[in-house]
Amino acid sequence: MERLDKVLSNLGYGSRKEIKNMVKKGIVKVDGKVVKDSGFSIDPEKCEIYVGEEKVAYRKFIYLMMNKPDGVVSATFDNYDETVVGLLEAEHAVFEPFPVGRLDKDTVGLLLLTNDGDLNHRLISPKWHVEKLYFARINKAVDESDIAAFESGVVLDDGYKCLPAKLQILNSKEEGSEVLVTLQEGKFHQVKRMFQSVGKEVVYLRRVAFGPLKLDETLEEGTYRELTEAELKLLKKEAGLEDQ
């Protein structure tokens, strides 16, 4: 059970104070009856709610795909930098979604945001082996020895041995290379630190896929959209939550 004013506020119908005034005016109905108390307890998944002539479409969770821009941090709050949550419109921000994992401040590309804690946990846990695909530009030539190192598990600067990763060379020249990297985990600065461990530097990094979802190329950097039902179904299946 939840308070009526909290439910309506989370769905973007106004602040608690504004909703209290709406209720006082008698324009909010629950199961066909006018409600006079904004703190009235309801089951939003079972109750039929109307605000004026508009039927309230209740949903508990929100699922977003963002094309994260450079210079924005993957966090809900930061003292110094703009956050990905700060890019959301009010109608989505009220759900208080949080990033699924993180992308470095200067890394761009596919970032998922949701307030579904169970799905978030499954997607970032190495136990569920959800793959993340990155496109990267490297400052030097990349060769078969690097592919082998990634496959066997690169040891990072702090001694941590990464899970096996797939490295695909798109093109390789002495002045620089373009590659695809597939990971099943997401340690801090992992792709950059993996290349540092083999004596190379990442000069550009973009996540292009997360599990079964590919970045929507129509999304400009800094924009986002809600996942489609089909995309959400694929994502939940990947995380072992297809029955929820």
86: domain CATH number is 3.30.70.580
Pick from 137, 134, 136, 207: which is nearest to 176 by CA? 137
Tell whether 80 is covered by a domain: yes
21: domain CATH number is 3.10.290.10
pLDDT band at 45 (very low <50, low <70, confident <90, very high): confident
The yes-or-no verdict on residue 233 having pLDDT over 90 is: yes
Q: Are residues 192 and 228 in the same domain?
A: no
Encode pLDDT of 169-218 as tens digits. 999 999 999 999 999 888 889 999 999 999 999 999 999 999 999 999 99
Report the C-alpha gap between 223 and 166 in whole angstroms: 29
Q: Are residues 34 and 148 in the same domain?
A: no
Pick from 201, 205, 210, 157: which is nearest to 183 by CA? 210
Mean pLDDT score, 50-76: 93
pLDDT band at 125 (very low <50, low <70, confident <90, very high): confident
Q: Are residues 82 and 105 in the same domain?
A: yes
Q: Is 31 exposed, middle or buried (CB count within 10 Å of its CB: 0-12, 13-18, 19+)?
A: exposed
- pLDDT at residue 177, as a whole number: 97
Question: Among residues of the chain, what percentage have pLDDT more than 70?
Answer: 99
Pick from 102, 113, 117: which is nearest to 191 by CA? 102
Mean pLDDT score, 8-33: 90
Question: Among residues of the chain, what percentage have pLDDT more than 90?
Answer: 77
Tell whether 117 is covered by a domain: yes
Tell whether 178 is covered by a domain: yes
Q: Are residues 18 and 138 in the same domain?
A: no
pLDDT band at 40 (very low <50, low <70, confident <90, very high): confident
The yes-or-no verdict on residue 242 having pLDDT over 80 is: no
Report the C-alpha gap between 173 and 171 in whole angstroms: 7
Mean of the per-residue pLDDT values for the chain? 93
190: domain CATH number is 3.30.70.1560
The pTM score is: 0.84
Q: Are residues 203 and 135 in the same domain?
A: yes
- pLDDT at residue 244, as a whole number: 60
Tell whether 243 is covered by a domain: no
| Residue predicted with more confidence, 96 or 91 | 96
Q: Are residues 157 and 171 in the same domain?
A: yes
pLDDT band at 90 (very low <50, low <70, confident <90, very high): confident
Number of neighbouring beta carbons within 10 Å of residue 84: 25
Tell whether 244 is covered by a domain: no
Report the C-alpha gap between 52 and 58 in whole angstroms: 16
Q: Are residues 122 and 218 in the same domain?
A: yes
- pLDDT at residue 186, as a whole number: 83
Q: Are residues 202 and 161 in the same domain?
A: yes
Q: Are residues 44 and 71 in the same domain?
A: no
Q: Are residues 68 and 37 in the same domain?
A: no
Q: Are residues 219 and 122 in the same domain?
A: yes
Q: Are residues 35 and 86 in the same domain?
A: no
Mean pLDDT score, 131-139: 97
Domain count across the chain:
3
- pLDDT at residue 243, as a whole number: 66
Q: Which domain holds residue 26?
A: 2-55
Number of neighbouring beta carbons within 10 Å of residue 15: 11
The residue type found at 70 is D
Q: Which residues are catalytic?
A: 104
